[in-house]
């Protein structure tokens, strides 16, 4: 019987690990897909007009992971939409990463 519980626990643990957004994955995606415009540190390049700096305190306070996810998925003006290029999970991990800058 205890073996059965051990198995359940292992399955649960594996599920939690795979479901948890991975901050490091977000950083990798950010550097690969976003830093061209938004800069390595989150300070936008001059041509990415209209984008705030992601390390700005006021922006951090005013912005939620959910609102970042929305802009990234749908795009806005010159910001491209990523809903067909990244999975929902990848969009979430990159949004979580932005909140750590
Ligand atoms: C081609 C250049 C480009 C790329 C690549 C790009 N962005 Fe943007 N992004 C922009 C521009 C320009 C804006 C400003 C849009 C506007 O005019 O409102 C923006 C806006 C945003 C905003 C909204 C900020 C706010 O609160 O007003 C977020 C969040 C964001 N980008 C995240 C990302 C993430 C995450 C990625 C990578 C998955 C990414 N962007 C890739 C150009 C880009």
Q: Is residue 29 part of a domain?
A: yes
Residue 90 lies in a domain: yes
Give me the number of domains the chain comprises: 1
Indicate which atom in ligand 1 lies nearest the CA of residue 91.
38
Q: Is the pLDDT of residue 83 over 80?
A: yes
What is the CA(19)–ligand 1 centre distance, in A?
A: 25
Query: Given the CA of residue 68, which atom of ligand 1 is nearest to it?
Result: 29
* 7 inside domain: no
pTM for the whole thing?
A: 0.83
Among 33, 23, 22, CA closest to 72: 33
Residue at 75 is within a domain: yes
12 domain residue, yes or no: no
CA neighbor of 87 nearest in space, from 95, 79, 78 = 95
CATH number of the structural domain spanning residue 52: 1.10.760.10
pLDDT tens digits, 23-65:
499 999 999 999 999 999 999 999 998 999 999 999 999 999 9
Residue 59, domain extent: 23-98
| Residue of 62, 69, 79, 90 to test ligand 1 pocket, by largest number of atoms within 8 Å of CB | 79
In a domain, 8, yes or no: no
């Amino acid at each position: 019987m205890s073996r059965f519980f051990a198995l359940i626990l292992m399955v649960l643990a594996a599920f939690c690990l795979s479901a948890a957004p991975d901050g490091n994955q977000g950083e990798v995606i950010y550097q690969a897909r976003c830093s061209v415009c938004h800069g390595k540190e989150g300070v936008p390049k001059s041509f990415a007009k209209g984008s705030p700096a992601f390390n700005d305190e006021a922006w951090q306070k005013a912005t939620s992971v959910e609102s970042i996810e929305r802009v990234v998925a749908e795009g806005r003006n010159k910001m491209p939409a990523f809903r067909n290029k990244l999975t929902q999970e990848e969009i979430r991990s990159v949004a979580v990463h932005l909140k750590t800058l």
